[in-house]
Amino acid sequence: MKKKLVGVLLSVSMVVASLAGCGSAAPQAAENAKTETRVADEPTAKADSAASEKLVVGFAQIGQESGWRDAETMSIQTYAEEHADTVELKFADAQQKQENQIKAIKSFIEQDVDVIGLAPVVETGWDQVFAEAQDAGIPIILLDRTADVDESLYATFIGSDFIEEGKEAAKQMAELIGGKGKIVELEGTVGASAATDRKTGFDQEIAASYPDIEIVASQTGDFTRAQGKEVMESFLKSNPDIVGVYAHNDDMALGAIEAIKEAGLKPGEDIVTVSVDGVKGIFEAMVAGEANCTVECNPLLGPLFFETAAKLKAGESVEKWVKSVDGVFTQDVAADVIDSRAY
């Protein structure tokens, strides 16, 4: 009986000892697991921190209507690629449709980007989506085109003075045609700030300073070479005695040059051209004697755009209008500068 009792007691003691051993090992194992988890999570935390330090920008581009637009897109994308360690770009091509740009902006808001940039396809219709971005605490940068909204809804506009471009084009046209004659005007996209202001500046300057110059026809070519050619063909049929064409961008001017040649006339001589942008194609046309003048509108805005976006993310103040640096180029200097043109 005593042997049985001793055996039972020994068994109980062994179980207790065993349980005590498990009890002391479990907290240690748990502690080890916690330590391992902290070590495993550390790189992820660092990665998340690095990602949050990046400048995340959403940009809604108009589309690919011209060589100038392509150059602007290239400038933005190239800068982002070259600074991939500090910049993340979310890019959307709206294909010339405002509704696509609005969808892109809403998507950028959902993705909680730091800054939203866009070149508005038209001036109006932005109030609601801009207000949504403002409510989300995301500043908006307008690039190369303005929007008809309250200034409180966007942080800044980066670009040229389109009205001054139009006025300069009028002065150049007047000089080329001797201050008199009938001319036609190829307008940009209806409702686009660049088209509206370039027309305003040109028409006002002609009316105010050159009473012997008559704008006999003015129609949109939608900033494209194909439509520029089509509209110019129509102009030539209706107005055989025109001496000059003013185009709101170089691509339309290049289309007009094709139409002039096909009509059996000499572009640059029989009909002079003045346009805006400064793309390489118009310089090639000037060197060939087929174009006369371009008023530059610099599209290489990528660096300035991202520098401004970085300031906004950092909470710094920026000017309401950050003006780009532009020039005026005529046929007599085209050959000297064409090799230096970057777009």
> pLDDT of 76-93, one tens digit each?
999 999 999 999 999 999
Would you say 272 and 292 are in contact if contact means Cβ atoms under 8 Å apart? yes
Sign of the CA dihedral running 184, 277, 257, 243: positive
Sign of the CA dihedral running 70, 71, 72, 73: positive
Which helix (H) or strand (E) segment is 257 a member of? helix 250-262
Residue 305 predicted with pLDDT over 80:
yes
Residue 68 predicted with pLDDT over 70:
yes
Residue 9 predicted with pLDDT over 50:
no
Enter the DSSP assignment of 114.
S
Amino acid at 160: S
Residue 41 predicted with pLDDT over 90:
no
Q: Determine the average pLDDT of the residues in 299-319.
A: 96
Residue 273 predicted with pLDDT over 60:
yes
- Going by C-alpha positions, the residue among 61, 147, 156, 141 that lies closest to residue 101 is 61
Residues in Cβ contact with 325 at an 8 Å cutoff, skipping those fewer than 6 apart: 298
Q: Determine the average pLDDT of the residues in 123-129.
A: 98
**CA–CA distance, 185 with 172 (Å, rounded to integer):** 14
Structure tokens at 110: 């959902």
- Going by C-alpha positions, the residue among 234, 225, 304 that lies closest to residue 257 is 225
Please state whether the predicted TM-score (pTM) of the whole model is above 0.75. yes
Report in angstroms the alpha-carbon separations of 236 from 70, 110, 130, 224: 30, 50, 43, 18
pLDDT of residue 18: 37
Residue 239 predicted with pLDDT over 60:
yes
pLDDT band at 22 (very low <50, low <70, confident <90, very high): very low
- Going by C-alpha positions, the residue among 306, 315, 319 that lies closest to residue 88 is 306
Q: How many Cβ atoms sit within 10 Å of the Cβ of residue 201? A: 22
> Which superfamily is assigned to 54-158+300-322 in CATH?
Response regulator (3.40.50.2300)
178-217, pLDDT tens digit by residue?
A: 999 999 999 999 999 999 999 999 999 999 999 999 999 9
Q: Determine the average pLDDT of the residues in 320-337.
A: 94
- Going by C-alpha positions, the residue among 159, 156, 246, 264 that lies closest to residue 203 is 246
Between 123 and 14, residue with greater pLDDT: 123
pLDDT of residue 196: 97
134-166, pLDDT tens digit by residue?
A: 999 999 999 999 999 999 999 999 999 999 999
Q: Determine the average pLDDT of the residues in 54-71.
A: 94
Average the pLDDT over each of 34-48, 146-160, 294-308 and give the range with the smallest value: 34-48
Would you say 158 and 143 are in contact if contact means Cβ atoms under 8 Å apart? yes
**CA–CA distance, 57 with 76 (Å, rounded to integer):** 11
Residue 326 predicted with pLDDT over 70:
yes
Residue 225 predicted with pLDDT over 90:
yes
Structure tokens at 47: 């990665």
Q: Determine the average pLDDT of the residues in 297-322.
A: 96
> Strand locations in the chain, DSSP E?
55-61, 87-93, 115-118, 140-143, 156-159, 181-187, 213-220, 244-247, 272-277, 293-296, 321-323, 328-330
Phi, psi of 266 (to 5 degrees): -100, 110
Residue 44 predicted with pLDDT over 60:
no
**CA–CA distance, 222 with 140 (Å, rounded to integer):** 26
**CA–CA distance, 142 with 123 (Å, rounded to integer):** 11
Give 162-297's CATH code, choosing from 1.20.1090.10, 3.40.190.10, 3.40.50.2300, 3.40.250.10. 3.40.50.2300
Region of residue 137 (phi > 0: left; psi between -120 and 50: alpha; otherwise: beta): left
Give how far the C-alpha of residue 18 lies from the chain's centroid of Cα atoms, to the nearest Å: 72
**Residue range(s) occupied by CATH 3.40.50.2300 in the chain:** 54-158+300-322, 162-297
pLDDT band at 52 (very low <50, low <70, confident <90, very high): low
Residue 173 predicted with pLDDT over 90:
yes
> Strand locations in 151-263, DSSP E?
156-159, 181-187, 213-220, 244-247
**Mean pLDDT, the chain, as a whole number?**
88
- Going by C-alpha positions, the residue among 78, 133, 81, 83 that lies closest to residue 108 is 133
pLDDT band at 53 (very low <50, low <70, confident <90, very high): confident
